[in-house]
């Protein structure tokens, strides 16, 4: 009897601790690792990040989402975030440029949302001007022109309800909404925050304070 009590005295706390950790991970936040260069210079390859599941998604938020069924090549490309549960390596990390109801356009080296030029000081001027040269010719575009090459939402002029238009900060290499369309809200895993000890003040502001 004493042996059983002794075993339970350390087994039960471990089980309870694991259950609490699992609940926190599933309901509140999880930790992931960036895989690839699409969010450079603000998030770099192998950098660890926190993904908050209940944070509000705004213009400028950096989000993690399951790209399966959104990007036709998601399974081939592999994930751009690792160590998340249940998505088989198809998690992407991108920045929200536009939210439901917004118009988006790229004109003469700048992005316009609802006809207003947006602040992109979180990336270099050369990357800001890189509107589209991944599988496409560079030049001006809007949602209607981009959507001609999408499998869904062809002819869209605004971001649909419960969906988002996203882009990577490393525009010249990022595979994002320009090429396959919008991200449905139910595909979003959470909003990214960086660890304060893993990066500098400017990079933290570019990720944590843009939403």
Residues 6+ apart with CB under 8 A from 10: none
Long-range contacts from 155-159, C-beta under 8 angstroms, 24+ separation: 156/181, 156/182, 157/103, 158/101, 158/102, 158/103, 159/98, 159/99, 159/100, 159/101, 159/102, 159/103, 159/104
117 in catalytic set:
no
94 labelled catalytic: yes
DSSP 8-state symbol, 92: E
As separate numbers, helices (DSSP H) first and strands (DSSP E) second, the chain gives 6, 12
Distance between first and last Cα of the chain: 56
Whether the bond into 41 is cis, omega within 30 of 0? yes
Catalytic residue, chosen from 2, 5, 9, 38, is 38
Candidates 5, 55, 94, 193; catalytic one = 94
Catalytic residues: 38, 94
């Amino acid at each position: 009897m004493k042996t059983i009590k002794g075993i339970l005295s350390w087994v039960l706390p471990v089980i309870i601790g694991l259950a609490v950790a699992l609940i926190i991970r599933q309901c509140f936040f999880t930790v992931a690792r960036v895989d690839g260069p699409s969010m450079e210079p603000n998030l770099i390859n192998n950098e660890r990040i926190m993904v908050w599941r209940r944070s509000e998604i705004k213009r400028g938020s950096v989000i993690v989402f399951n790209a399966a069924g959104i990007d036709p090549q998601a399974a081939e490309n592999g994930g751009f975030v690792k160590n998340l549960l249940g998505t088989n390596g198809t998690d992407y990390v991108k920045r929200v440029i536009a939210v439901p109801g917004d118009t988006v356009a790229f004109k003469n080296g700048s992005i316009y949302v609802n006809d207003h030029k947006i602040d992109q000081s979180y990336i270099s001027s050369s990357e800001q001007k890189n509107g589209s040269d991944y599988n496409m010719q560079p030049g001006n575009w809007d949602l209607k022109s981009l959507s001609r090459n999408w499998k869904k939402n062809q002819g869209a002029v605004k971001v649909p309800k419960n969906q988002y238009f996203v882009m990577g900060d490393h525009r010249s290499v990022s595979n994002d909404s320009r090429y396959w369309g919008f991200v449905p809200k139910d595909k979003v895993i959470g909003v990214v925050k960086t660890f304060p000890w893993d990066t500098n003040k400017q990079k933290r502001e570019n990720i944590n304070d843009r939403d």
